[in-house]
């Protein structure tokens, strides 16, 4: 059977709801929920702070790093376990060394997700923030980026794909412009788990994403990729027994990656669920996920375009966007539309493109054609 067309909806419990809000928080497969339950029973049985528990937990951490490294094509020790995408962004924002002449480059200002905007905006108290002008879909001209870079540019921070229009930015082309002279941070919350993300090809220094969107893991799980060489550019702003060692009575040194950025205990049960979900995705195949998501989003856009007063947002070319489909109905409040659909067990979300409120649908590979067509029927009757 062609996996890209396989119906796997029974693997994701959802109380008969049509769930199309995966760009926010995805559903988890049953196997991951069971894996978390099994871990808690085992961990409790051996004693959470017993001699036997340490190797048990250490192996779980090693295993999840190995799995995530396989998905993004890096070394396991370059995968730092966090709680969220925002955690990784703040590691970079608070860890880079700046001076009064430093500047950094971001894209679109309020067109960007708050998590990949506010931490950089706060830096304007001590450095200059340069903004890339964007078009209606959120793209910018590469020559504009080149023109903004100077000898004082310390960072370029971009999203891999946009949370509102689904546009996929050409990160590899952008990295070539930077040519290893300017560090590149990528927010990949909207890509890891739904399209191929290869940090070697992207050539980014840092990347942050979470486990609860397209990776179908639990809330409270995040991942921060830190290139081994680039870790020297960052000074951790938190420190503890897990991240540092004392080499004499009064001096401390940070440990090597990944421990350098991991202070305190991790969300062990969440990590177990994340690894199970990540393995589920790997078994299905990231390329197959991409094909299925494209098919579902193309179907949704095509059928929506046939409905009077529908306004579609985002790129027309399916190869330059994720499965996010953003739209409005002319004359209808976007929140009212989402609320009315939720009463029919159809879950979408209200988001924004700058100041404009829009409706966002984000199908994933466990969704089906019949669900998409049911959503279309419901919208026609609003």
The 8-class DSSP code of residue 169 comes to P
pLDDT for the residue numbered 1: 62
Q: Selecting from 3.30.530.20, 3.40.50.2300, 3.40.640.10, 3.40.220.10, what CATH number does the domain 31-283 have? A: 3.40.640.10
Please answer whether residues 145 and 174 qualify as being in contact, where contact means their C-beta atoms are separated by less than 8 angstroms: yes
CB atoms within 10 A of CB 198: 13
Domain residue extents for the chain: 3-20+285-380, 31-283
DSSP 8-class letter at 110: G
Q: What is the pLDDT of residue 217?
A: 98
Burial class (CB in 10 A: 0-12, 13-18, 19+), 47: exposed
pLDDT at res. 247? 87
Phi/psi region, residue 121 (left: phi>0; alpha: psi -120 to 50; beta: rest), is: alpha
Instruction: Please report, in tens digits, the pLDDT of each residue of the chain (382 residues total).
Output: 688 889 999 999 999 999 999 999 999 999 999 999 999 999 999 999 999 999 999 999 999 999 999 999 999 999 999 999 999 999 999 999 999 999 999 999 999 999 999 999 999 999 999 999 999 999 999 999 999 999 999 999 999 999 999 999 999 999 999 999 999 999 999 999 999 999 999 999 999 999 999 999 999 999 999 999 999 999 998 999 899 999 888 899 999 999 999 988 889 999 999 999 999 999 999 999 999 999 999 999 999 999 999 999 999 999 999 999 999 999 999 999 999 999 999 999 999 999 999 999 999 999 999 999 999 999 999 9
Taking each helix axis from N to C end, the angle separating 268-284 and 53-72, rounded to the nearest 10 degrees, works out to 40
Quote the pLDDT of residue 17.
Answer: 97
What is the structure's pLDDT at 153? 98
Residue 134: the pLDDT is: 98
Question: Topology of 3-20+285-380 in CATH?
Answer: 3.90.1150
- At 77, phi and psi to the nearest 5? -75, -5
Structure tokens that stand for 294 in this block: 């494209």
């Amino acid at each position: 059977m062609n996996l890209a067309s396989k119906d796997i909806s029974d693997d994701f419990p959802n109380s008969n709801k049509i769930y199309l809000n995966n760009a926010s928080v995805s559903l988890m497969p049953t196997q991951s929920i069971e894996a978390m339950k099994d871990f808690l029973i085992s961990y409790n049985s051996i004693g959470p702070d017993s001699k036997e528990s340490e190797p048990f937990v250490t192996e779980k951490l090693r295993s999840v790093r190995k799995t995530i490294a396989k998905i993004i094509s890096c070394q396991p020790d370059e995968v730092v376990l966090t709680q969220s995408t925002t955690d990784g962004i703040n590691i970079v924002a608070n860890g880079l060394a700046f001076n009064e002449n430093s500047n950094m480059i971001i894209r679109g200002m309020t067109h960007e997700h708050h998590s990949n905007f506010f931490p950089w905006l706060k830096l304007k108290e001590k450095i200059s923030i340069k903004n890339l002008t964007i078009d209606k879909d959120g793209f910018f001209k590469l020559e504009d980026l080149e023109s903004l870079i100077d000898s004082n540019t310390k960072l370029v921070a971009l999203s891999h794909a946009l949370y509102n229009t689904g546009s996929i930015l050409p990160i590899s082309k952008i990295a070539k412009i930077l040519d290893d002279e300017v560090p590149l941070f990528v927010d990949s919350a909207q890509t890891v788990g739904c399209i191929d993300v290869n940090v070697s090809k992207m050539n980014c220094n840092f990347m942050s994403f979470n486990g609860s969107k397209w990776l179908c893991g639990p809330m409270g799980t995040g991942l921060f990729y830190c290139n081994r060489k680039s870790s020297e550019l960052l000074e951790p702003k938190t420190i503890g027994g897990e991240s540092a060692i004392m080499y004499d009575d009064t001096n401390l040194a940070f440990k090597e990656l990944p421990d350098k950025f991991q202070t305190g205990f991790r969300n062990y049960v969440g990590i177990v669920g994340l690894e199970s979900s990540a393995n589920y995705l790997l078994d299905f195949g990231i390329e197959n996920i991409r094909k299925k998501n494209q098919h579902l989003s193309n179907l949704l856009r095509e059928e929506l375009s046939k409905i009077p007063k529908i306004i579609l947002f985002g790129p027309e070319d399916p190869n330059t966007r994720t499965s996010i489909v953003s739209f409005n109905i002319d004359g209808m409040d976007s929140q009212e539309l989402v609320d009315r659909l939720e009463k029919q067990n159809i879950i979408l979300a209200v988001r924004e493109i700058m100041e404009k409120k829009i409706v966002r649908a984000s199908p994933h590979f466990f969704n089906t054609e019949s669900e998409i067509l049911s959503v279309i029927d419901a919208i026609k009757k609003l």
